[in-house]
Structure 1
Amino acid sequence: MTLQIDSDGRLRHLLTLEGLPRETICRLLDRAGHIRDAALGRTTQRRSSLVGTTVCTLFFEPSTRTRSSFQIAAQRLGADVLNFDASTSSTRKGETARDTLKNLEAMGVRGFVVRHAEDGAVEALAAAAGEGTTLVNAGDGRSAHPTQGLLDALTLRQAKGPDFSRLKVLIVGDVKHSRVARSDLHALRTLGTGEIRVCGPASLLPDADTLAGCEVGQDFDAMLEGVDAVMMLRLQRERMEEGLIASIDEYHNDYGLTAQRLTRAAKEAVVLHPGPINRGVEITDEVADGPQSLVLRQVSNGVAIRMAVLEMLLG
């Protein structure tokens, strides 16, 4: 039994993909795939599995894609959705995140989707939650963003098939500050990816433990050779100390993905990016909007993954 999984093996919270059984990840991907397939015919059906349940998006950091897709996901499952805005809440008066959670729990909220700037903050809230309350980590500090890792895995599986052992996947950019990269690495390892490459300037690479089992390099052109998927990361200037990169122009020159550079990858390689995109920094318009880009597919898959997660936890 862990904080995430109860004594019966049931998922109680989704805090990280690290250590999550492959069977659980595959079950979530399968369920999300069915939801996504059903939506392709433009006949999005509301489900009733969460009717009578209130889900709160408890965000202490700004978000567009993640918050919106969780809200849509919960509503499509029939849940009532409460959107919490830290900028206009009692947290501005000094109320702790724990007290905010407990007060909302007392009002009958049983599902919380939490984003927080501090590493481990969501896990701490999960430990404080009452019986029957479930939390989903929507991104905490640099630690984890599990639903992003799941939707990236789903997007790769749709494009390249279920056998990840055949794939060469390259993650590029600001890995040091990226919770997305950590969750992607957890998912790729658990799904048995054949080769995981990580590329970025030395100043933006994390510790050796985070990169265990990966081929690591700083030469983007060399690392691109023959890969099946390129997962670009946003340059997170709001989280980094000054001086970690010489300049934006130099970073783009060394680590920006252009159409010409992409020709080094396998012929049918796909490009992913979690957003928001810094166009002209980590990726050019030609690539972001090009035929190999799966960026909008990732966004669409985000709703399906989050529906699958909420159903598994609260349904």
Structure 2
Amino acid sequence: MHHSHAHQASRLQLNGEGRLRHFLSTEGLSRELLTELLDRADSFLDGSGGIRNVPLLAGRTVMNLFFEPSTRTRTTFEVAAKRLSADVLNIDISKSSTSKGETLRDMLWNLEAMTADIFVVRHGASGAAHFIASQVTPDIAVINAGDGRHAHPTQAMLDMLTIRRHAGEFSGLTVAIIGDIRHSRVARSEIHALQTLGAREVRVIGPRTLLPRDFEELGVKVFEDMAAGLAGVDVAIALRIQNERMESALLPGSSEFYARYGLTRERLKVASPNVLVMHPGPINRGVEIESEVADGPHSLILKQVNYGIAVRMAVLSMAMEGQDADQARRQQEAAQ
């Protein structure tokens, strides 16, 4: 990700007042903005860990455009939108129009005509959400729900909320991300978010074939050995290993991956005694993580789901407010 691209992305995401109007990437967003997003997400959680209904998007339409299936992400966005009192339309594009050869731009124009206020976009191609945000009318908020190997910013932010609620401030924390970093959109978004929020150290652990090629640029510490990588860490995030990679030459096979990089109780002994264990899900038990760890006292994997709803509520409502402020400004300018 070159700086010019990141800069372009941040310009696209923010309105004239520096408020969020699209949410495409954690890159280029300030610590203040990410903190505001986490604070807002916190405000949607009640004392017992449940989620409040807050009608900030009453009368608005959120359109889930999933060019690539992802039941969990789509469901979470749907629940988040409904908690905000929005109407939700789910459009599974993987099945419909792309097979008819309809171009992306034509399709977007048709969808716009249905008067959506927000597009939530999941796409297999890197940069798809940016493309849609730069091509659609200026007054539809675009939320990136994962694009190619590039970014998955709402997943990264729900992980940040999880860390902040359970480990406190970022400044003292050492966080390790384990597994297929090279192909992971989640890992890239997390690294940027952790650095922006001021984490003391970000580590990546995995076999060389799955480590990022540009880790110097990313500013992370790289480990091929779990014992060294987990030493003293406050947070350990295991990534999902895609089965396709297992079958390719990149990986020796799931049992061998687990033998070297599985997150087990034994391996976690070198981490901080209060280490938090996270996983973006769905888990492959006995591949990335031992069942006893996934279900154990250090695991926040179930809590992450609830936090994901709160974070997506924060993203949807903040982007809509940024769009509304933009529209009000344009109307004012037109009236003058």
| TM-score for the superposition, normalised by structure 1 | 0.95
Quick check: 2:37–2:314 contact (8 Å CA) kept in 1? yes
**Are 1:76 and 2:83 matched, yes or no?**
yes
Pairs within 5 Å for 1:128-167: 128-162=135-169, 164-167=170-173
Change (3 A) 1:204 1:27: same
Which segment is superposed worse, 273-282 or 90-99? 90-99
**Are 1:9 and 2:9 matched, yes or no?**
no
Q: CA-to-partner distance for each residue in 1:206-238, whole Å, 9 max, x for gaps? A: 122576321101001111111111010011234
Shift of 1:92: 1.6
Quick check: 1:169–1:228 contact (8 Å CA) kept in 2? yes
Pairs within 5 Å for 1:82-101: 82-101=89-108
Name the SS of the counterpart of 1:10 in structure 2: coil
Match for 2:275: what amino acid? A
Name the SS of the counterpart of 2:171 in structure 1: helix
C-alpha distance in 1 between matches for 2:152 and 2:224: 25
Aligned partner of 2:72 in structure 1 is 65
**Are 1:182 and 2:191 matched, yes or no?**
no
C-alpha distance in 1 between matches for 2:192 and 2:308: 18
Show structure 2 runs of 5+ residues with no match: 1-9, 322-336
Aligned partner of 2:48 in structure 1 is 40
What is the aligned counterpart of 2:276 among 270, 274, 277? 270
Shift of 1:313: 1.1
What is the aligned counterpart of 2:203 among 183, 194, 197? 197
Change (3 A) 1:143 1:116: same
C-alpha distance in 2 between matches for 1:185 and 1:298: 18
Aligned partner of 1:169 in structure 2 is 175
Quick check: 2:27–2:189 contact (8 Å CA) kept in 1? yes
Aligned partner of 2:316 in structure 1 is 310
C-alpha distance in 2 between matches for 1:235 and 1:94: 32
Aligned partner of 1:233 in structure 2 is 239
What is the aligned counterpart of 2:119 among 94, 112, 119? 112
Quick check: 1:65–1:299 contact (8 Å CA) kept in 2? no
Change (3 A) 1:280 1:81: same
C-alpha distance in 1 between matches for 2:96 and 2:47: 36
The size of the alignment, in residue pairs, is: 312
C-alpha distance in 1 between matches for 2:196 and 2:125: 25
Shift of 1:86: 1.8
**Are 1:24 and 2:33 matched, yes or no?**
yes
Name the SS of the counterpart of 2:122 in structure 1: strand
C-alpha distance in 1 between matches for 2:246 and 2:186: 15
C-alpha distance in 2 between matches for 1:41 and 1:168: 26
Question: Sequence identity of aligned pairs in percent?
Answer: 54
Structure 1 or 2: more helix by fraction? 2
C-alpha distance in 2 between matches for 1:2 and 1:125: 15
Shift of 1:276: 1.1
Name the SS of the counterpart of 2:273 in structure 1: coil
Show structure 1 runs of 5+ residues with no match: none
Shift of 1:49: 1.5
Quick check: 2:68–2:94 contact (8 Å CA) kept in 1? no
Match for 1:295: what amino acid? I
C-alpha distance in 1 between matches for 2:216 and 2:29: 16
Which segment is superposed worse, 243-252 or 178-187? 243-252
Change (3 A) 1:241 1:95: farther
Quick check: 1:182–1:210 contact (8 Å CA) kept in 2? no
Q: CA-to-partner distance for each residue in 1:1-41, whole Å, 9 max, x for gaps? A: 811112221211100001111111000000101111x2626
C-alpha distance in 1 between matches for 2:215 and 2:222: 12
Shift of 1:99: 2.1
C-alpha distance in 2 between matches for 1:167 and 1:248: 30
C-alpha distance in 2 between matches for 1:124 and 1:114: 11
